[in-house]
Amino acid sequence: MVKKRFIIHVDMDAFFAAIEQRDNPAWRGQPVVVGADPKGGRGRGVVSAASYEARKFGIHSALPISIAYRKCPKAIFRPVDMAKYSQVSRQLHGILYNFTPEIEPVSIDEAFLDISGSYQLFGTPRQTCVLIKKRIKEEIDLIASVGLAPVKMVAKIASDFGKPDGLVEVTKEKLFDFLWPLEISKLWGVGVKTRQSLNEMGIWTVGQLAKKDVKALKKIFGANGEHLWSLANGIDERDVETETGAKSISNETTFGKDTADQDEIDSSLMWLCEKVSGRLRQAGLKGRTITLKIRVTGFQTYTRAITVPEPTNFVDVLYQQIQKLYKNFKVRKKVRLVGVKVSNFDLAGFQSDLFQQPTDQKREKIHRAVDAIKKKFGEESVHRGRVVK
């Protein structure tokens, strides 16, 4: 059974300006602009942040400070105090780590959180979001907007939708209802030129892009065309990447032609298990959760995962579990892509050789010998019998 993903994007509202208003209560409700000295409209820097009251005058980040002054000369202009803002940012992240260790700081005032394995401690995923907002308000007296979704991109869009002081939840069942009516520019990676090209093709919304022939998009945009099509269809498998290192190690391969040839698929799965197994040992890691990724004709993508009792980086264990996942999946279409991922890590050296079974010690030696051969003669120098390349 595949665990549901619950990704949160936390985005602080007008962070720099909000801190200034917090520290100077008389400025609350007033237009506050943080940035270069406007020098009576002759300043040459730019705006770093603007309160929501200042934004009503058309002031926004990166706007020349001279123009900001002309738009609202009565605004409160403050210099950037990065030492203070960084201290508040550290307090913010300290709060977030109370809810999950799976945190990816994006910038000083925003972060992604994966609460898939921790939300039960706080109730539902939505209740977790409510508590996060509450803790931020109580502990640092600031307002955050929060987006909750099954994938990172949609969580980010959702947090923007609710500003200021928002909480927008997009469930897996309502993903397309939320995503498809949006303007195409809301997708990650759609800049001005890409948007113009898509508009020329008659594509104005995310839904129109999702229903476009992916082959036609690839002809025009190359690999990015398929990537944008995937995002438009809610396919965003990027993990929340923690500061402490990789959350998972994976490899995948795309077949030259969609295939139903079981020997070709099995050989590719073994090859991928070898690649992942070697990378795990190189990183000094063993994992408990083994995930199979399958993309079939039509670009539908599925994942199936299993968690084993003991952490492993042995290729035969990975392949055994991957085969089991594949057979239980009962593929009914030709296969376009397969992938293997290992996560839920332990350090490989955590368990001393003293406590390993003799068979495990022997397998460890064999794996190390194979690694040494590959290191000396190249990756293609030795493969297990199952692999046919």
Q: Which of 104, 110, 169, 274 is catalytic?
A: 110
Cα distances (Å, whole numbers) of residue 58 to 67, 74, 192 = 10, 14, 21
Would you list the DSSP string of 241-269?
A: PPTTS-SEEEEEEEEEEEE--HHHHHHHH
CA dihedral 207, 209, 214, 220 (to 10 degrees): 180
Q: Verify whether residue 110 is a known catalytic residue.
A: yes
* Burial class of residue 258 (count of CB atoms within 10 Å of its CB; 0-12, 13-18, 19+): middle
- Residue 354, both tokens: 């003293």
Coil, helix or strand at residue 137: helix
Other C-beta atoms lying within 10 Å of the C-beta of residue 216: 12
Q: Residue 301 burial (CB < 10 Å; 0-12/13-18/19+)?
A: middle
- Residues 330-351, buried b or exposed e (16+ Cβ, 10 A)? eeeeebbbbbbbbbbbeebeee
Backbone phi, psi, residue 384, to 5°: -70, 160
> Could you give the residue numbers annotated as active site?
110
